Amino acid sequence: MQPPADHYLHSSLREGLLEHLFVGEVMRTLWLRGVRDFEALRPTTDAAGYDVVLAANGIIRHIQLKASGIGARTSQQKINVALSRQPAGCIVWMRFAPETMTLGPFLWFGDHTGGGLPDLGEKIARHTKGNASGEKAYRTSMRVLNKGQFTALAGIEAVVDRLFGTPR
C-alpha cells in the first residue's frame, strides 16, 4: 500500500495516471459497445479549459477532468471559463480509491451530447495562496462549482452515455 504522502508529493504524476486510466476506460467501454471510430486528443497547453478531447459517434467532447480520492472532503471545484467556449464542453469529476487507483463513482457537469456547457455561475475563484500581505486575489477566468451542481454517475458506462449517447 502507498503512503498517503505519495498522493500530494507526486500529484502531477497521479493526475496524469488518472487521466490515462479515464481515457482507457472510456475507450474500452466504446470498444465493447462495438464503436471502432473514436479518438482521444490532448492539448499542448491548458489555456483552453479542457484536459482531453474525446470523439466518438460523430460527437466531439472537450473535457475538463477533476479528481479526488474517495473519502476526500473536497466540496467544490474551480473551473476555467474558457471551457464554456467549446461547443460540447463538460466536466467529469472522477472519484477514485487511493489504495488501488480504481476509478468511480463519477460526478458530471455538462449538457446532453453535443450540447454546450451549462452556466458556470458568478462565483469567482480565488488563488489558494495569498500575496505578501496575505490577500488571496481573484482569478477572474475561473468559477467555483459546488458538488451539488454535479450529477452523480455510478460508473464509466454512465459517463460514456453522457458523453456520446446510449448504445443502440
List the chain domain ranges.
5-164
Least confident piece of the model among 6-15, 39-48, 137-146: 6-15
Q: What is the DSSP letter of 58?
A: T
d(CA 11, CA 26): 22
Average pLDDT of the segment spanning 22-40: 97
d(CA 24, CA 156): 11
From the list 74, 103, 98, 128, the residue with the least C-alpha distance to 6 is 98
Compute the mean pLDDT over every residue in the chain, rounded to the nearest whole number.
Answer: 90
pLDDT band at 9 (very low <50, low <70, confident <90, very high): low
pLDDT band at 127 (very low <50, low <70, confident <90, very high): confident
pLDDT band at 1 (very low <50, low <70, confident <90, very high): low
H/E segment holding residue 5: helix 5-9
For residue 105, give the C-alpha cell. 463513482
Give phi and psi for 44, each to the nearest 5: -85, -20
From the list 55, 109, 57, 114, the residue with the least C-alpha distance to 78 is 109
pLDDT band at 8 (very low <50, low <70, confident <90, very high): low
pTM assigned to the model: 0.90
- Environment class of residue 55 by beta-carbon count within 10 Å: exposed (0-12), middle (13-18) or buried (19+)? middle
Q: Please give the radius of gyration of the chain, using alpha carbons only, rounded to the nearest integer.
A: 16
Query: What is the CATH topology of the domain spanning 5-164?
Result: Trna Endonuclease; Chain: A, domain 1 (3.40.1350)
What's the start-to-end Cα distance of the chain, in Å? 41
Model pLDDT, residue 10: 57
